[in-house]
Amino acid sequence: MKSDCTVLKAVHHGISVLASSDKPQLEAEVLLAHHLNESRSWVAAHPETFLSETTLTSYNDSLQLRNRGEPLPYLLGYWEFFGIKFTVDKRALIPRPETEMIVEHSISIAGKHMNSRIVDIGTGCGAIAIALALNLPDALVFASDISRDALSLARTNSLRHAVRNRIDFIQADLLNSMGKFDIICANPPYLTTQEACTLPVGKHEPRLALDGGPNGLNIVREIISTAGKHLNDGGSLLMEIGNSSSKILKMANFYFGSAECSVIPDLAGRPRMLKITT
């Protein structure tokens, strides 16, 4: 049944509900487009079209959820990472653009060798591993997570992108019982427990994906201290980091001695990725 609400009225209503968001118009249009199963440009081009009662109800429900802080990607059910569309839901962290650095550096390193063995530790929805499998056709890609839920989402994404048979999914605690690799990638939980409990991100995304212990370094330290015996000669560890970059670099130099250790900044100039090459 048609309602008496047009696309334009619905967008205006969405903008007022989402007034506290950074981009209320964009979010209202994206959500409406999603419920209409149309593109955002279709929404802009059809201001006078009347919405059905069903569309209006589901759109209003998602506006309310968004207003209460539910992340837009969870409402849409998908998000883009490295130009690839991933199914996302509460089982795993929403992949962030800054993590694309790990993929870019891995491609550049692995592109110089044949059949590189690469592992993505804490794969979440599978973003890093799947982006690598799609861009490195001859690489041997492994993806691990301690969370069974995250792994099931990652497997779904690998099927979506037809790389299920290119990736070995493993349930494991970090590098425990893993073999040797040319590249170890990781975007580990690196918030402090306090941050994971108080920041808005901790209310909506899995705590297991965020909480790095009292000073945020528990998992980072465990990876750095064990990675050496899981890297082939000339291998690299590429790990996203949060704060404490100088502490982390010291830790890397302590465990890796003669290896080349550096912290690479992201596009905003923030120290973002630890790179160790043995």
Ligand X SMILES: C[S@@+](CC[C@H](N)C(=O)[O-])C[C@H]1O[C@@H](n2cnc3c(N)ncnc32)[C@H](O)[C@@H]1O
| Residue among 123, 120, 127, 121 nearest 87 (CA) | 127
C-alpha–C-alpha distance, residues 154 and 125, integer Å: 4
C-alpha–C-alpha distance, residues 56 and 61, integer Å: 9
Nearer to ligand X, 55 or 187 (CB): 187
| Residues near 172 by beta carbon (within 8 Å), at least 6 away in sequence | 144, 145, 146, 178
Report if residue 167 touches ligand X, rule: CB under 6 A.
no
Going by the DSSP 8-state scheme, the letter that residue 98 receives in this structure is G
Nearer to ligand X, 14 or 212 (CB): 212
Report if residue 122 touches ligand X, rule: CB under 6 A.
yes
Question: Please, what is the minimum distance in Å from the beta carbon of residue 196 to ligand X?
Answer: 11
C-alpha–C-alpha distance, residues 254 and 257, integer Å: 6
Q: Which range in 50-58, 92-100, 241-249, 268-276 contacts ligand X by CB under 6 A? A: 92-100
C-alpha–C-alpha distance, residues 196 and 208, integer Å: 9
Q: What are phi and psi of 66, to 5 degrees?
A: -60, -40
Report the residue from 5, 208, 249, 259 that binds ligand X according to the rule CB under 6 A.
208
Phi-psi region of 37 (alpha: psi -120 to 50; beta: other; left: phi over 0): left
Helix H or strand E segment including 239: strand 231-240
Structure tokens at 104: 């870019």
Report the residue from 110, 118, 150, 167 that binds ligand X according to the rule CB under 6 A.
150
Q: Which range in 21-29, 51-59, 122-130, 261-269 contacts ligand X by CB under 6 A? A: 122-130
Question: Please, what is the minimum distance in Å from the beta carbon of residue 153 to ligand X?
Answer: 9
Beta strands 260-265 and 271-277, pairing class: antiparallel
Report if residue 103 touches ligand X, rule: CB under 6 A.
no
Report the residue from 55, 62, 99, 244 that binds ligand X according to the rule CB under 6 A.
99
Report the residue from 141, 174, 220, 238 that binds ligand X according to the rule CB under 6 A.
174
Question: Please, what is the minimum distance in Å from the beta carbon of residue 150 to ligand X?
Answer: 4
Nearer to ligand X, 120 or 182 (CB): 120
| 128 in Cβ contact with 102 (< 8 Å) | yes
Report if residue 252 touches ligand X, rule: CB under 6 A.
no
Alpha helices in 228-272 (DSSP H): 245-256
Report the residue from 209, 248, 251, 276 that binds ligand X according to the rule CB under 6 A.
209
Report if residue 55 touches ligand X, rule: CB under 6 A.
no
Per-residue contact track with ligand X, 212 to 241, x per CB under 6 A? Answer: -------x----------------------
Residues near ligand X (CB under 6 A): 92-93, 95, 99, 122-124, 127-128, 144-147, 150, 173-174, 187-189, 208-209, 219
